C-alpha cells in the first residue's frame, strides 16, 4: 500500500471520528443514528461498494450484540431488582453502621464498589446520592467531600468491571476472559478509588454544596428491607460465580466432560441467568413481592438499557466498516512501529475520543475498533487491553458528558467547582487505571 494511499485512508478515519463527534456533541443527533451515518459515509469514502456497505453494517451490529445483549440485559435486570427491593439501601446502611463516623468515607467507598457492580452508573448515582446528602447533613460534613469516594467507586465499576456495558463489550471484541478481566479490574479499582476518592477529596473540603431539596428521595422503611446477608449475596453473586469460573478450571483436573460442564457453567450469560433466578426468589418471591411486579421491574430494566445496546450496535457497525475496508490493518501496521506501548496506545485513543465526545461507552468501543488489529501482532494480554481502554474512556469528563451535569445539578455546584471535583476525580481514576494496567502487565506476562 502506497504511503499516499495510507495517509488518505487515515485522514478518512479521522474525518469519520470528527464527524461522529460533531453529530453527537454539536448536532445533538442520537448516538445510534450518528454511528449509522458515519459508518456508511466512512465506508463509501474508504472504497467499500454500495452493495457491500450495508452488509458490513449488518454484520458489525450482529457480531457485536450476539452474546453481549444477553449479558447487558440480564445485568440490568439484576441491578434493577437490587435497587427496587431495597437491597442496595440495606447494604449502604449496614456499611455505615460498621465503619462509623470516623471512617465514613471508607464506608461510602466500599458501598459504592459493592453496589456499583450490579447497578449501572446512572442508576447507582441516583440511588446513592440521597444517602450521601443524608450522611453529610447528619455529620455536618461537606457533601462533595463525603460523596466523592462513593462516586469514584461507581465510576470505576462502570469503566473497568463486567457486566457493565463497555467492559463487557470490550471483553467480547478482544476475546478476553470476563472472569480474569473482573479479577484484574478489582485489583486496579481499589487503588484507583482510594486515590481519586479518599485522598483527593481531602483537598475539596472547602467546596460548598447545597443540594436541591427536591432531589433527595425518601428511604424505604427499615421493616421493608431484605436482610443484609441476602442483600450482599444476591448483589455479589455474579462476581463470586465469575471468579469461581476462572479459578475452578485451573485447579480441576477431571474428565473432559467435567471441563465442558465448567466451561458451560462459567459462561457469563449462564452465570447472570443463575443470578437472576436467585434474585427473583431471594429479593422478590421470598420478600413477598408478586411475580407480576418482579417481571415489571425486569421489563423496566430492559427499557433502561435499550439505548445503550443501540449505541454498542452502532459502534460495532463502524468497527466492521474499518475492518472490511482494510483500514484497520493499515492503521495497525502504522501504529506497530510507534515507540509507544500498545496498552498506552489503547488508553490514549480512548482518552482522546472521550474528551472530544463525552460518552465513556462510545469512546471505549470506538477506540477498540481501531486497536483490535494490533492484538494479534503484539501479543498483548487482551484482559489488560480491556482495562487500558476502559481507563482511557473515563479520562476528564467535562461539559459534553451527561455524568458531569448529573453531578453538577444534584450537588448544585458551579461549573468551576464541578471541574475541580468531578472532572479531576475522573482524570485521576483514568491515570491510576493505566498505571495499574502497566504494573499488572509486568507481573502477568
H-run or E-run covering 409: helix 402-411
CA distances from 140 to 148, 218, 286, 382 (A): 16, 19, 38, 46
Q: State how far the Cα of 366 lies from the Cα of 389, in Å rounded to an integer.
A: 10
Q: What percent of the chain has pLDDT over 90?
A: 38
Q: Which of 439, 412, 436, 433 is nearest to 354 (CA)?
A: 433
pLDDT of 38 reads 92
Predicted confidence (pLDDT) at residue 335 exceeds the cutoff of 80 = no
Per-residue pLDDT tens for 362-397? 888 888 888 887 777 767 899 999 999 999 999 998
Please check whether residue 426 is in contact with residue 397, taking contact to mean a CB–CB distance below 8 angstroms. yes
Per the prediction, the chain carries an average pLDDT of 86
Mean pLDDT computed over 158-185: 90
Mean pLDDT computed over 180-207: 95
CA distances from 21 to 14, 45, 166, 356, 443 (A): 11, 18, 18, 7, 37
What's the pTM value of the predicted model, to 2 decimals?
A: 0.77
Q: Which residues lie closer than 8 Å to 370 by C-beta, 6 or more apart?
A: 13, 322, 328, 331, 349
Per-residue pLDDT tens for 293-317? 999 999 988 887 888 788 878 888 8
Q: How many CB atoms lie within 10 A of CB 231?
A: 26
What confidence category does residue 242 fall into, taking pLDDT thresholds of 50, 70 and 90? confident
Q: State how far the Cα of 119 lies from the Cα of 157, in Å rounded to an integer.
A: 9
Q: How many CB atoms lie within 10 A of CB 251?
A: 6
Mean pLDDT computed over 262-274: 85
Mean pLDDT computed over 142-150: 94
Mean pLDDT computed over 356-365: 80
pLDDT of 2 reads 46
Amino acid at each position: 500500500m502506497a504511503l499516499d494511499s495510507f495517509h488518505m485512508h487515515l485522514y478518512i478515519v479521522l474525518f469519520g471520528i470528527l464527524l461522529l463527534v460533531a453529530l453527537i456533541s454539536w448536532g445533538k443527533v442520537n448516538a445510534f443514528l450518528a454511528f449509522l451515518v458515519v459508518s456508511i459515509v466512512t465506508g463509501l469514502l474508504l472504497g467499500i461498494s454500495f452493495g457491500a456497505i450495508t452488509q458490513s453494517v449488518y454484520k458489525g451490529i450482529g457480531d457485536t450484540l450476539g452474546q453481549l445483549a444477553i449479558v447487558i440485559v440480564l445485568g440490568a435486570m439484576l441491578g434493577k431488582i437490587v435497587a427496587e427491593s431495597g437491597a442496595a439501601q440495606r447494604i449502604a446502611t449496614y456499611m455505615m453502621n460498621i465503619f462509623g463516623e470516623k471512617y465514613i468515607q471508607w464506608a461510602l467507598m466500599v458501598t459504592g464498589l459493592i453496589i456499583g457492580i450490579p447497578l449501572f452508573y446512572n442508576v447507582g448515582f441516583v440511588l446513592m446520592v440521597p444517602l450521601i446528602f443524608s450522611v453529610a447533613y447528619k455529620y455536618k460534613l461537606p457533601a462533595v467531600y463525603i460523596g466523592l469516594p462513593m462516586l469514584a467507586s461507581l465510576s470505576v465499576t462502570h469503566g473497568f468491571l463486567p457486566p457493565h456495558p463497555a467492559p463487557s463489550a470490550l471483553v467480547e471484541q478482544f476475546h478476553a476472559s470476563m472472569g480474569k478481566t473482573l479479577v484484574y479490574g478489582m485489583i486496579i479499582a481499589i487503588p484507583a478509588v482510594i486515590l481519586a476518592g479518599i485522598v483527593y477529596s481531602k483537598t475539596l473540603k472547602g467546596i460548598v454544596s447545597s443540594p436541591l431539596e427536591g432531589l433527595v428521595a425518601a428511604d424505604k422503611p427499615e421493616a421493608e428491607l431484605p436482610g443484609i446477608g441476602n442483600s450482599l449475596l444476591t448483589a455479589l453473586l455474579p462476581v463470586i460465580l465469575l471468579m469461581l469460573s476462572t479459578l475452578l478450571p485451573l485447579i480441576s483436573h477431571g474428565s473432559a466432560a467435567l471441563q465442558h460442564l465448567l466451561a458451560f457453567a462459567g459462561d457469563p450469560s449462564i452465570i447472570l441467568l443463575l443470578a437472576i433466578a436467585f434474585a427473583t426468589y431471594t429479593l422478590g418471591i421470598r420478600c413477598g413481592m408478586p411475580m407480576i411486579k418482579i417481571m415489571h421491574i425486569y421489563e423496566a430494566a430492559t427499557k433502561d438499557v435499550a439505548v445503550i445496546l443501540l449505541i454498542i450496535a452502532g459502534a460495532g457497525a463502524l468497527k466492521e466498516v474499518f475492518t472490511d475496508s482494510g483500514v484497520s490493518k493499515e492503521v495497525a501496521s502504522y501504529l506497530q512501529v510507534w515507540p509507544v506501548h500498545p496498552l498506552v496506545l489503547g488508553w490514549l485513543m480512548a482518552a482522546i475520543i472521550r474528551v472530544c465526545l463525552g460518552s465513556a461507552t462510545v469512546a471505549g468501543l470506538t477506540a477498540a475498533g481501531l486497536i483490535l488489529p494490533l492484538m494479534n501482532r503484539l501479543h498483548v494480554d487482551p484482559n489488560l487491553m480491556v482495562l487500558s481502554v476502559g481507563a482511557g474512556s473515563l479520562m476528564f469528563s467535562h461539559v459534553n458528558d451527561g455524568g458531569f451535569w448529573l453531578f453538577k445539578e444534584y450537588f448544585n455546584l458551579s461549573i468551576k467547582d464541578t471541574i475541580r471535583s468531578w472532572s479531576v476525580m475522573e482524570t485521576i481514576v483514568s491515570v491510576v487505571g493505566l498505571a495499574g494496567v502497566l504494573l499488572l502487565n509486568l507481573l502477568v506476562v
